[in-house]
Amino acid sequence: MSDEIQNDGYDQAIEAIGAGEPYALECPDGHHSMPPRRVCPECGESELEEVDIPTSGELLTYNVTHVPTPDFADDVPFVLGIAEFGGVRLTGRVQADEEEVDIGMPVELGLGESETTERPLITFDLA
Amino acid sequence: MSPPHIAGVGMTTFGNVPERTGRDLFAEAGSTAIEDAGIDREDVDALYVGNFMGELSENQGHMGPLMAKAIGLDVPATRVESACASGGMAVRQGVRDVRNGEADVVLVSGVERMHNMGTAGATGGLSVAADDLWEIRQGITFPGAYALMAQRYFEVHGGDREDLAHVAVKNHANAANNPLAQYQSEISVEKVLDAPPVAMPMGLFDSSPITDGAAAALLVSEEYAEENGLDTPVAITGTGQGTDNLALAERDSLVWTPATRDAGQEAYDDAGISVDDVDFLEVHDCFTIAEVLALEGLGFYEEGEGITAARDGETTADGSLPVNLSGGLKAKGHPVGATGVAQITEMTKLFRGDHVNSEAVEDASVGLTHNAGGTVASAVVHVLEVAE
ipTM of this model?
A: 0.97
- Parallel, antiparallel or unpaired: strands B213-220 and B5-11: antiparallel
**Does A33 reach chain B within 8 Å, measured CB to CB?**
yes
Choose, out of B134, B136, B210, B289, the residue to mutate when testing the contact with A (most A CBs < 10 Å).
B134
Please state, as a whole number, how many other Cβ atoms lie within 10 Å of the Cβ of residue B194: 12
pLDDT tens for each residue of A23-67:
999 999 999 999 999 999 999 999 999 999 999 999 999 999 999
Give the gap in angstroms from C-alpha B146 to the nearest C-alpha of chain A: 9
Q: Report the distance separating Cα B82 and Cα B96, nearest Å.
A: 17
**SS3 assignment, position B212:** strand
Cα separation, B175 vs B342, in Å, equals 14
Instruction: Say which of A63, A67, A68 has its CB closest to residue B148.
Output: A63
CB-based contact, A105 to chain B, within 8 Å: no
In the set B5, B166, B334, B382, the catalytic residue is: B334
> Above 70 in pLDDT, residue B65?
yes
Q: What is the DSSP letter of B306?
A: G
Q: Are B249 and A85 in contact (CB under 8 A)?
A: no
What is the DSSP code string of B237-248? EEEEEEE--SSG
Per-residue pLDDT, A35:
97
Where are the alpha helices (H) located in chain B, listed in sequence order?
A: 22-37, 54-58, 63-70, 86-99, 118-127, 142-157, 161-175, 189-193, 222-227, 258-271, 288-297, 328-332, 336-352
pLDDT at B89: 98
DSSP string, B348-363: HHHHHT-STTGGGGTT
Averaged pLDDT, B20-25: 98
Taking residues A110-125, report their average pLDDT.
Answer: 97
pLDDT band at A3; cut points 50, 70, 90: low
HSE (side-chain half, CA atoms, 13 Å) at A108 = 12
pLDDT surpasses 70 at B257: yes
Which chain B residues are closer than 8 Å to A43 by Cβ?
Answer: none
**Could you tell me which chain B residue has the CA closest to the CA of A112?**
B138
Residue B202: band (very low, low, confident or very high) from pLDDT cuts 50, 70, 90: very high
Query: What distance in Å separates the CA atoms of residue A103 and residue A111, rounded to the nearest whole number?
Result: 21
Q: Taking all residues of chain B, what is their mean pLDDT, rounded to a whole number?
A: 97
Q: Is it the case that residue A127 has pLDDT exceeding 50?
A: yes
pLDDT at A1 over 50: no
What is the C-alpha to C-alpha distance for residues B350 and B76, in angstroms, rounded to an integer?
31
Q: CA-nearest residue of chain B to A33?
A: B250
**pTM over 0.95, yes/no:** yes
Q: Find out whether B243 and B47 touch, Cβ atoms under 8 Å.
A: no
CB-based contacts of A126: which residues, under 8 Å, 6+ apart? A94, A95, A96, A100, A101, A105, A106, A107, A108
Indicate whether B149 pLDDT > 60: yes
If one counts every other C-beta atom within 10 angstroms of the C-beta of residue B298, the result is 25
Residues in B closer than 8 angstroms to A39, CB to CB, are: none
Q: Are B103 and B46 in contact (CB under 8 A)?
A: yes
Kindly report the three-state secondary structure assignment for every residue of B156-216: HHCCCHHHHHHHHHHHHHHHCCCCCCCCCCCCCHHHHHCCCEEEECEEHHHECCCCEEEEE
Active site residue B334: yes
Q: How far is A17 from chain B (nearest CA, A)?
A: 13
In this prediction, residue B79 has a pLDDT band, given cuts at 50, 70 and 90, of very high
The three-point CA angle B298-B304-B310 to 5° equals: 75
Interchain proximity B249–A7, CB inside 8 Å: no
Cα–Cα distance between B262 and B241 in angstroms, integer? 7
B233-262 average pLDDT score: 97
The number of C-alpha atoms within 13 Å of B79 and in the hemisphere containing its C-beta is: 22
Q: What is the average pLDDT across A3-14? A: 90
At B372 the three-state DSSP class reads: strand
Phi, psi dihedrals of residue B92, rounded to the nearest 5°: -60, -40
Nearest CA in chain B to A98: B200
Q: Do A65 and B199 touch (CB under 8 A)?
A: yes
Q: Tens of pLDDT along B168-189?
A: 999 999 999 999 999 999 999 9
The CB-side HSE value for B206 (13 A sphere, CA atoms) comes to: 29
B245 touches chain A (CB under 8 A): yes
Phi, psi (degrees; rounded to nearest 5) at B247: -80, 130
